[in-house]
């Protein structure tokens, strides 16, 4: 399918809410079509009275959405044709003599591929603000929105993601998110990085504190081993003192027993000797 015809055809198959090709299209009584999921989400907060997001027609009660079978078949065939298309072959637009050289960069602003030889030539050409944005051909798929096949040139501050213009309209505009150009976001990040590099004192202090902690932690096992050895020596000394005291007590006990026995012997002996004088 020719690209111009495809784009015109696709515009008629876009849901007015999500701006994507219809997914299970349904039709309201006012004859406007929406994705079933989109209209259900749009009416989720409404209790009874609702309105058509396209023409603002008021309904006293939520109408029962009916599937648009004809439109669903058209969407199905369109998706099948779109899936069968051959991959796009990029050629350098500045190679005018001889066969074009292999593409190395793609300008996301101008949507023009260029070879390694013509990169500087392309950068010298006029471009809309904020200027050329060249990316490697290997990174092109990451910059391309798979739904709308547009380059992701906008950055959502709240969600911290890169979006294409259609995704930005469907996701960020209604929620009033702050959106800027991806190149502006890149410049801001570079400025923040340079600002951090100009203040290395905090980082150096953190590194010094971390190294000090590591030094103390590395010495902790040796310190613990020395403390345990000293405690063991003190315990051994106490045990030795207790053993000596026990030995002394045993010796004193034996001496006391001998003294008691001697006292008993003296106690049994008569105090005055018997006199055997003749009368």
Q: Which fold has domain 3-83?
A: Herpes Virus-1 (3.30.40)
Per-residue pLDDT of the chain (279 residues; tens, 9 = 90+): 555 666 677 888 898 888 888 989 999 988 899 998 888 888 887 777 788 888 988 888 888 888 899 989 988 888 877 765 555 667 888 887 767 788 888 888 888 888 888 888 888 888 876 788 888 888 888 888 888 888 888 888 888 888 888 888 877 777 788 888 887 777 777 777 777 666 656 667 778 788 888 877 777 788 778 888 888 888 889 889 898 898 888 888 888 888 888 888 887 776 555 555 554
Q: How would you classify the pairing of strands 66-67 and 103-107? A: unpaired
Q: Say how far apart CA 128 and CA 110 lie, in whole Å.
A: 8
The residue ranges of every structural domain in the chain are: 3-83, 86-143
Q: Write down the pLDDT at residue 33.
A: 93
Q: Write down the pLDDT at residue 25.
A: 92
Strands (E), 118-218: 134-136, 154-156, 161-163, 179-181
Q: Are 20 and 33 in contact (CB under 8 A)?
A: no
Cis peptide before 130 (omega within 30 of 0): yes
The pair of three-digit structure tokens given for residue 62, joined into one six-digit string: 């939520």
Q: What is the largest CA-CA distance in the chain?
A: 174
* Main-chain dihedrals φ then ψ at residue 6, nearest 5 degrees: -60, -45
Q: Say how far apart CA 203 and CA 208 lie, in whole Å.
A: 9
């Amino acid at each position: 399918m020719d690209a111009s015809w495809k784009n015109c055809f696709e515009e008629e198959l876009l849901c007015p809410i999500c701006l994507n090709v219809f997914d299970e299209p349904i039709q309201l009584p006012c004859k406007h079509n929406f994705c079933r999921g989109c209209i259900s989400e749009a009416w989720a907060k409404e209790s009874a009275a609702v309105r058509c997001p396209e023409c603002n027609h008021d309904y006293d009660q939520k109408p029962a959405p009916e599937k648009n079978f004809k439109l669903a078949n058209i969407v199905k065939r369109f998706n099948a044709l779109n899936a069968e298309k051959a991959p796009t072959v990029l050629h350098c637009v500045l190679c005018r003599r001889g066969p074009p050289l292999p593409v190395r960069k793609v300008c996301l602003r101008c949507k023009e591929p260029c070879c390694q030889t013509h990169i500087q030539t392309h950068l010298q050409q006029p471009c809309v603000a904020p200027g050329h944005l060249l990316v490697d051909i290997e990174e092109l798929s990451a910059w391309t929105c798979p739904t709308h096949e547009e380059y992701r040139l906008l950055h959502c501050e709240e969600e911290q993601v890169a979006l294409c213009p259609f995704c930005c309209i469907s996701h960020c505009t209604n929620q009033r998110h702050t959106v800027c150009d991806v190149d502006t976001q890149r410049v801001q990040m570079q400025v923040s990085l340079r600002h951090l590099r100009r203040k290395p004192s905090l980082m150096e202090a953190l590194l010094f504190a971390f190294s000090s902690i590591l030094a103390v932690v590395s010495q902790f096992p040796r310190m613990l081993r020395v403390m345990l050895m000293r405690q063991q020596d003190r315990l051994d000394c106490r045990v030795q003192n207790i053993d000596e005291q026990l030995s002394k007590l045993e010796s004193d006990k034996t001496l006391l027993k001998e003294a008691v026995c001697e006292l008993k012997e003296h106690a049994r002996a008569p105090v005055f000797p018997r006199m055997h004088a003749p009368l």
